[in-house]
């Protein structure tokens, strides 16, 4: 190689100096950008902040992870109370339902009843694997009777099986006057709520469960098929039955809100299209009742969480139009009919969608790889713009592998960050 002349050597030295200066400026620029990016990243939120921001359709630090998991906890630990949720599930952002405290005589079978002016005859006995309960209520307006078969917990019946009614309390319109005597007073004592709220702290949000007029109310006092026939054959009977329990549900909501509840967990699965109601009846009969629930909650500054674990494709726009703040469980096919992408487009600006991950085909019977892919795909659709809480199509069930539960939460954290 030939030696460089003085001028060439000077040019090389100049270019080398400029390269050093340019590298310095580039390093400073990247460092500055990195600091800016760091300053713009979302600070870590508490579970409570994360949930409330999502319900307001703001983007939190990450999507809240709030599956229903009581059945799995009950099977694994023998308990499914708030303490167990908080202790065993560190990645859970609880939207935790708590009972309003009002006794439901239709659905509870204590050994003694505190019903003034009512004489109760009750007999419990074994009938095969079941416990049979026969009751007669002697009220000032006349007699009511029913018969219930209670399956054993566990085995093929699940950890908390539903009773089977072979005789219902309400058989004729006259029974409604008698029924009023056995409905317990609305609970006004919310010490249990405030104790749970203190235990929850900022970890999540506590909601008070108030069932709609049908759920475990009119739909257990009278056979559901008979109620459906009543809408055509004896509408005044149907309307009076529904109104009796709807007014009670409004009184329950009011008591909870006056006690300071953040939100109402309203269950409506007896009113679901999956139960057999037509879209026309749903729109005519149930939507106005939903709206009354929601408007009452909003007057107190609380949110309304609507729960239906059945089909929603034909009713979700009606439900969103009634003003609910959260809609769950949003069950996908093959069990349900909820299309997350369609729902996000049609109602995503109005309501926070909660749930969606299939408890059986994905979480219980699937692999960790399937769970990760399903959660990843759901978050890709649901999380933009807020308004999505990663949940489940109902409670994760007994027999679900612990590794699958872990995979679900890990995927929620991995793909849920904003």
pLDDT at 162: 86
292-351 pLDDT per residue, tens: 999 999 999 999 999 999 999 999 999 999 999 999 999 999 999 999 999 999 999 999
Of 11-20, 96-105, 204-213, 397-406, the range with the lowest mean pLDDT is 11-20
Bond into 53 cis (ω within 30): no
Which of 35-44, 180-189, 253-262 has the lowest average pLDDT? Answer: 35-44
Q: Render pLDDT for 116-149 as a digit per residue (tens, 0 to 9).
A: 999 999 999 999 999 999 999 999 999 999 999 9
Window from 4-13, 169-178, 366-375 with minimum mean pLDDT: 4-13
* pLDDT, tens digit (0-9, with 9 covering 90-100), for 215-247: 999 999 999 999 999 999 999 999 999 999 999
Q: Note the pLDDT of residue 6.
A: 43
Give me the mean pLDDT over the 374-389 stretch. 97
Q: Quote the pLDDT of residue 72.
A: 97
CB 169, CB 145: distance < 8 Å: yes
Q: In this predicted structure, what is the pLDDT of residue 154? A: 72
Whole-number pLDDT of residue 257: 98
Higher pLDDT, 100 or 156: 100
User: Are the beta carbons of 297 and 55 closer than 8 angstroms?
Assistant: no
pTM assigned to the model: 0.88
What confidence tier does 24 reach under pLDDT thresholds 50, 70, 90? Answer: very low
Residue 250 clears pLDDT 70, i.e. is over it:
yes
Residue 314, burial from CB neighbour count under 10 angstroms (0-12, 13-18, 19+): middle
Of 58, 35, 34, nearest to 45 (Cα)? Answer: 58
* pLDDT 10s digits, 41-96: 679 999 999 999 999 999 999 999 999 999 999 999 999 999 999 999 999 999 99
Ranges of each domain in the chain: 47-102+185-415, 109-167
- For residue 26, pLDDT beyond 80: no
- The DSSP secondary-structure symbol of 176 reads H
Mean pLDDT of 176-192: 97
Percent of the chain with pLDDT over 70: 89
Class of domain 47-102+185-415: alpha beta
Measuring CA to CA, which residue among 173, 10, 89 is closest to residue 410?
A: 89
DSSP 8-state class, residue 351: S
User: Distance between CA atoms of 225 and 258, rounded to whole angstroms?
Assistant: 36
């Amino acid at each position: 190689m030939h030696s460089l002349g003085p001028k060439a050597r000077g040019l090389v030295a100049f270019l080398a100096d400029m390269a050093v200066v340019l590298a310095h400026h580039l390093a400073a620029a990247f460092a500055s950008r990195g600091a800016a990016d760091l300053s713009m990243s979302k600070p870590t939120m508490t579970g409570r902040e994360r949930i409330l921001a999502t319900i307001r359709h703001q983007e939190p630090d990450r999507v809240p992870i709030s599956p229903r998991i009581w059945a799995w906890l009950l099977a694994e630990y023998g308990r499914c109370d708030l303490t167990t949720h908080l202790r065993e599930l560190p990645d859970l952002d609880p939207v935790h339902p708590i009972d309003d405290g009002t006794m439901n005589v239709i659905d509870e079978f204590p050994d003694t009843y505190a019903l003034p002016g009512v004489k109760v005859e009750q007999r419990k006995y074994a009938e095969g694997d079941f416990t049979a309960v026969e009751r007669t209520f002697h009220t000032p307006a006349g007699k009511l009777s029913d018969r219930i078969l209670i399956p054993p917990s566990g085995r093929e019946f699940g950890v908390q099986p539903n009773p089977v009614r072979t005789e219902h309390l309400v058989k004729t319109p006259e029974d409604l006057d008698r029924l009023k005597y056995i409905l317990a007073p609305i609970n006004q004592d919310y010490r249990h709520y405030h104790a749970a709220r203190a235990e929850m702290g900022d970890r999540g949000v506590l909601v008070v469960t108030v069932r709609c007029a049908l759920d475990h109310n009119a739909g257990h006092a009278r056979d559901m098929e008979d109620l459906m026939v009543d809408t055509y054959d004896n509408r005044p009977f149907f309307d009076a039955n529904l109104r009796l329990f709807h007014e009670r549900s409004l009184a329950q909501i009011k008591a909870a809100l006056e006690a300071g509840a953040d939100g109402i967990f309203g269950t409506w699965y007896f009113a679901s299209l999956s139960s057999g109601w037509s879209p026309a009846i749903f729109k005519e009969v149930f939507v106005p009742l939903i709206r009354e629930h929601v408007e009452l909650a909003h007057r107190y500054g609380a949110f309304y969480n609507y729960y239906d674990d059945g089909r929603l494709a034909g009713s979700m726009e009606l439900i969103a139009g009634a003003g609910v703040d959260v809609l769950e469980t949003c069950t996908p096919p093959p069990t349900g009919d909820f299309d997350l992408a369609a729902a996000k487009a049609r109602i995503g600006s109005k309501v926070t969608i909660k749930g969606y991950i299939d408890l059986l085909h994905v979480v219980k019977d699937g692999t960790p790889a399937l769970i990760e892919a399903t959660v990843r795909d759901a978050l890709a659709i649901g999380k933009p713009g807020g308004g999505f809480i990663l949940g489940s199509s109902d409670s994760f069930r007994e027999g679900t592998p612990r590794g699958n539960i872990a995979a679900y939460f890990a995927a929620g954290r991995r793909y849920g960050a904003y």
